[in-house]
Structure 1
Amino acid sequence: MRTTIRLLAVAALGSVLLPLGTGTGAAGAPGPAVPPVARACSPVLPADPDAAAARVNALITQMDRQGLTQTAIDARLAADHCVRRVDGGGTGLRPLGDPPREITVGRPAIYKIQKPKKSKGKATTYYIATASWRWNYVPGNVKGYDAFSLRFTKKISERSHSLTYSGNGRFYGSRTINQAETAGPGGVGFIFNEGPRTHIPVPLDMRGYTGRMTVTFRPSKPGCWYLQAYAQYAHSWASNSVTGISLSAGRDNAGFGINWQENKHHWRQTSQPGAEFKVCR
């Protein structure tokens, strides 16, 4: 019986790697197209919300590296894992203000998961917020600590958080940190070193070329209301560095606070907010 369960779990997880509606024949040869089958999703995520958030982050990262669009990623999560995006979808890459051209900060995505109910009681709803960045090219100035933050327009009850970042695939692997600089009702922020970078002319790579933050949360108190999420990347170089982060709930860009070692050699880029969505507790 245990062997059967393991085989079913492996088959379910393996479906993430295959495009929907396709099949393979013997010895890897392309097989006939498989018509889509209408079915209800069967969640294979861990029951623990923190472990489920880590799994969702890994799935999104994997599918992004495979070249899937955000729309395709959202569809796969909903169909295969019962993880539904609740903030309206899309990536919204147009940034706020007039930032530099080196980096792209995507609009945060919010997903809803439910912890299965016990023998008595009801299922508990949790939300998973993810936000990411990707450098458009390896910059010349990477000395100094940077910051990446995810902020909400209403207060939340934050449960877990993590930041995973990596190179562009040419030299540096991935690294995950769980110790945030700040985590509270306003959001979560990490300080990290985006360098070093390679110095061979071609190809170039850097430690933090791309990254993704994941935050698991619930509304701060019982009831329902609407909120949005913003992401922000803060970059420093030369003799400067990020030394602190403060985050407060609110609708405008003023909720992000960055402390710099010096008032020079730095910039910040903020994403567009995700669409307003309803959360309930």
Structure 2
Amino acid sequence: MKTLFTFIALLWGSITVASAQDFYLPVSSTSKTAIASLHKAADLFANVHFKEGRAELDKALAEDPNFFMAHVYAMQFATRATRPGIADKTLALDQTNLNEAEKIMRELIVKWKADTTSKASETMKALVAAYPKTPQALEWASLYSFYTDKNVDDALDYAQKLAKLSPKFAPNYNTMGYLYMEKKDMEKAKAALEKYIALAPKEANAYDSMAEYYMNNKEYAKSAEYYDKAVAMGMTDSKERADKARSMIK
């Protein structure tokens, strides 16, 4: 299953090699509780635990109603109908204490309000330039490039840089797997998804993604096998895909 996104794919994953402060972009909220909930939400969203992620996001906003980055997340995961209202609310927040990362993200929302087809490339370049050693900046740049701008080459370039900077950040290999599939490089796609499983063996999404790889590679028995693993680990949506894979076995 592709990572995360409805509006775009931001992402935000488990922190296995760095502290939260080192992994994530800085935020202006002073509530440690709210920040911890946002980081939990990020981890959950990255591995496709949407319901649980939204619950943690709600906790962050309840703890700090003016938490700018939490509002950004809320907008990204809103429905198409509710997203403009959430964007307006986000832009109405006090800008006085916003840090550089938040100002950059605010500029993107302003662009989107003016033109919903706006590309994110220049904003992401600015974000990475401002935070070149912060893994989340590269993660966001990769996901925006892939899902918003449909620029596979830029997305892969950012993802490869992220893999060097934070080699144990598992969800990035999921993104890389899909990017390589887009480029029809199935050998590298498989290697990336195997890395995702190795780093996150308890995540159902890792097996669902590998199942999709096998489906695209027309290895239907293997696809069904991995979809079944995802189902057994709690990803009920994989059942229909497993049945489809089985139906294609000759």
Task: Name the TM tier (shorter chain).
Answer: under 0.3
Higher fraction of strand = 1
Higher fraction of helix = 2
Larger-Rg structure: 1
Q: TM-score, normalised by structure 2?
A: 0.25
